Amino acid sequence: MNQVSTTEPSSLEETISLLSELIQNRCVNPPGDEMRSIRTVERTLQEHGIESRVLESAPGRGNLVARIPGSGDGPSLMFGPSHVDVVPVEDPGSWEEDPFSGVVKDGNVWGRGSLDMLFIVAAQVRALIELHEEGFKPRGDLILLVVSDEEAGGALGAGWMMENHPELVRTDYSVSEAGGLSIAPGRVHFFAGEKGVARKRITFRGRPGHGSMPFGSDNAVVKLSEAVTRLSRYSPPLTTKHLGQLAEGLGLGLLQRAMLTNPTLLNLSLGRLRSRQPAMAMLLHSLSRMTVSPNVVQGGVKVNVIPERAHVDLDIRTLPGQDEEYVIARLREALGPLADEAIIEDPEGPERGFMSYGSSSPPRSEFVEAMERAIGREMPGATLVPLIVPGASDCRFMRALGAQAYGFSLFDPETPVNDLVDLAHGTNERVSVKTLELTQRVHLHLARDVLS
């Protein structure tokens, strides 16, 4: 599909150099130090006559809000919350380019954070500037919210803004990270919701004794290993609602749709996909149920002592609507006869008590139609397909304030989907200039459509 028009070269060059600078600022979280990039955005806006407010949530950490005020007779739209923090680079030596160079090579801007999600930040900042410069008078406010700390849960970023300055971030609609891939010809995905995160520790107690005479012993590690096996074999109840929306969005025929939405057939489909398209199998699996992954195990103190305590830490991901009570009930069900002995609690350490609920906005609405029109202006005839993100995002904070929040961008339709799965948070992370340009343009179309 061809793009119908192009962005002015000077504007695109400014977007690229802004993206490069954000990458060079290396706001690796932890520790974040996002103020470097917050100041970059503040300065960029200032150079074009746009005032913004910078709000410090902790030393070196902060968030920025800018707005083009509306006349007050229409809905408001937020570009964001868009985060400027990035995840660490494990082995810079395995990269083809310095991960913090922001260099432009072979039509791509290279660097950690380019995909997640600095290209959207750059596109949104530049779209706001373009609208300001053309004297755009929106009906409702157009708000830009750039935040810190998304990669560590958002407590100092979007979550902090929601708690401390709700009046600055309240909006009817918000568009943030991810989405925009052509998952089938002319079918572009967007994120309408996200899964929740729950972390739980299950502990077993035993009776200590000498390891030389284990007969009849009450061994915490033995009980724990049985529990881990039960948890890994457990299949929580299936919900095919989200897969149904996906099947409909992809325009699948009756049989293919049934393969995704009938629980028995879904299990067959997953079995077949597992060898042929493992990434797709993992995604469909995660979108159809709560998942439980037993990831850390500890038990015992010495090889000749029968262990008194053992625990496992679980990474649990819930679908929208599944709460803590649901999580505990499913874990007890999985543990079966071991449930009464199991102590289920929050794991210790920095992630203690971290629980975010899954959330979603309507997969189809007037606003979604506006997003579809914006995409359609760059890819004529394209339709939008709703998906749920398997991980948590800042959109949940906006939904908690009553906004409809979506993951929205537009990738060059030539982008191979499988490559992207490896690149975000991975080695040689990079984004194509084409994708950067398309994303800036769909933001411009969307704002003009919704706010005029």
Distances (CA, A) of 174 to 143, 242, 367: 9, 21, 10
Are 58 and 156 in contact by the 8 Å Cβ rule? The answer is yes
Is residue 141 involved in binding Zn ion (CB under 5 A)?
A: no
Q: Which stretch binds Zn ion (CB under 5 A): 25-33, 115-123, 239-247, 356-364?
A: 115-123
Cα–Cα distance for residue pair 12/6, rounded to 1 Å: 9
Q: Which stretch binds Zn ion (CB under 5 A): 2-10, 176-184, 323-331, 367-375?
A: 176-184
Is residue 117 involved in binding Zn ion (CB under 5 A)?
A: yes
Min CB(253)–Zn ion separation in Å: 34
Q: Which stretch binds Zn ion (CB under 5 A): 84-92, 95-103, 173-181, 425-433?
A: 173-181
Min CB(150)–Zn ion separation in Å: 5
Closest-CA residue to 320 (of 358, 286, 285, 361): 358
Min CB(261)–Zn ion separation in Å: 30
Min CB(198)–Zn ion separation in Å: 20
Q: Which stretch binds Zn ion (CB under 5 A): 111-119, 189-197, 360-368, 432-440?
A: 111-119
Min CB(202)–Zn ion separation in Å: 30
Cα–Cα distance for residue pair 296/311, rounded to 1 Å: 8
Q: Is 211 helix (H, G, I), strand (E, B) or coil?
A: coil
Nearer to Zn ion (CB atom), residue 117 or residue 131: 117
Is residue 384 involved in binding Zn ion (CB under 5 A)?
A: no
The identity of residue 336, as a single letter, is G
C-alpha angle 141/143/145, rounded to 5°? Answer: 165
What are φ and ψ of residue 433, in 5° steps? -60, -35
Binding to Zn ion (CB under 5 A) within 262-301 occurs at: none
Figure out which of the listed residues 21, 116, 130, 308 binds Zn ion, where binding follows CB under 5 A.
116
Task: Give one DSSP letter per residue of 389-439, joined into a string.
Answer: ESS--THHHHHHTT-EEEE-----TTS-HHHHHHHTTSTT-EEEHHHHHHH
Min CB(117)–Zn ion separation in Å: 4
Nearer to Zn ion (CB atom), residue 21 or residue 177: 177
What are φ and ψ of residue 315, in 5° steps? -95, 110
Min CB(215)–Zn ion separation in Å: 54
Binding to Zn ion (CB under 5 A) within 66-105 occurs at: none
Interstrand relation of 104-105 and 182-184 (parallel, antiparallel or unpaired): unpaired
Cα–Cα distance for residue pair 111/119, rounded to 1 Å: 11
x/- track of binding to Zn ion for residues 330-359 (CB under 5 A)? ------------------------------
Are 85 and 148 in contact by the 8 Å Cβ rule? The answer is yes
Strands (E), 304-403: 305-306, 309-318, 343-345, 355-356, 359-360, 383-389
Closest-CA residue to 33 (of 58, 64, 65, 66): 58
Nearer to Zn ion (CB atom), residue 273 or residue 392: 392
The identity of residue 320, as a single letter, is P
Question: Closest-CB residue for Zn ion?
Answer: 116
By CB under 5 A, how many residues form the interface with Zn ion? 3
Is residue 23 involved in binding Zn ion (CB under 5 A)?
A: no
Nearer to Zn ion (CB atom), residue 99 or residue 376: 99
Q: What does the binding site for Zn ion look like in residue numbers (CB under 5 A)?
A: 116-117, 177
